[in-house]
């Protein structure tokens, strides 16, 4: 069983009980997009594991499953999923660092351009009274 199959299991159990995702979302206060991610096995769209376990506990309680059984099923799936390699993790860390640097550069260029426009009189000076 993988995360997708686990999600299908949850979805099937919910549907067997005649409940919609929205109904589960309203009672559990878990956003519909997170319920959908959980049921579709899209773990990359979910927060850290501790939150997911609590989501599963609340979800199971609402649809009438034994919460501890549902959590045990999830833990079996989660343990069977291999961790990303250190190389992949490092690549992702570097990608995020470059992205942050790019955003910072764009903001700095925008501020610089605005200051230049103010100094040349082509834009109103916000400090002038």
Domain count, the chain: 2
Contacts of 75-79 spanning 24+ positions with Cβ under 8 A:
76/1, 77/1, 77/2, 77/3, 77/5, 77/6, 78/3, 78/49
Q: Which residue has the higher pLDDT, 107 or 127?
A: 107
Q: What is the mean pLDDT of residues 100-104?
A: 97
CATH of the domain at 58: 1.10.260.40
The number of beta carbons lying within 10 Å of the beta carbon of residue 125 is 10
Average per-residue pLDDT in the chain?
A: 93
Q: Does one domain contain both 8 and 51?
A: yes
Say whether pLDDT at 127 is over 90: no
- Domain holding 98, by residue range, is 83-129
Q: Does one domain contain both 107 and 59?
A: no
Assess contact for 20 and 30: CB atoms under 8 A: no
Q: What is the reported pLDDT for 47?
A: 92
Say whether pLDDT at 129 is over 80: no
Q: Does one domain contain both 17 and 65?
A: yes
Q: Does one domain contain both 34 and 94?
A: no
């Amino acid at each position: 069983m993988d995360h997708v199959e686990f999600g299908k299991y949850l979805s099937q159990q919910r549907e067997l009980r005649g409940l919609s995702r929205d109904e589960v979302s309203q009672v559990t206060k878990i956003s519909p997009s997170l319920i959908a991610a959980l049921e579709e096995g899209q773990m990359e769209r979910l927060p850290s594991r501790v939150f997911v376990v609590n989501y599963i506990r609340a979800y199971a309680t609402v649809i009438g499953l034994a919460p501890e059984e549902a959590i045990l099923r999830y833990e079996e799936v989660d343990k069977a999923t291999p961790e990303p390699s250190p190389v992949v993790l490092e690549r992702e860390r570097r990608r995020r660092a470059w992205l942050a640097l790019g955003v910072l550069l764009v903001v700095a260029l925008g501020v610089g351009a605005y200051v230049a426009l103010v100094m040349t009189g082509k834009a109103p000076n916000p400090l002038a009274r």
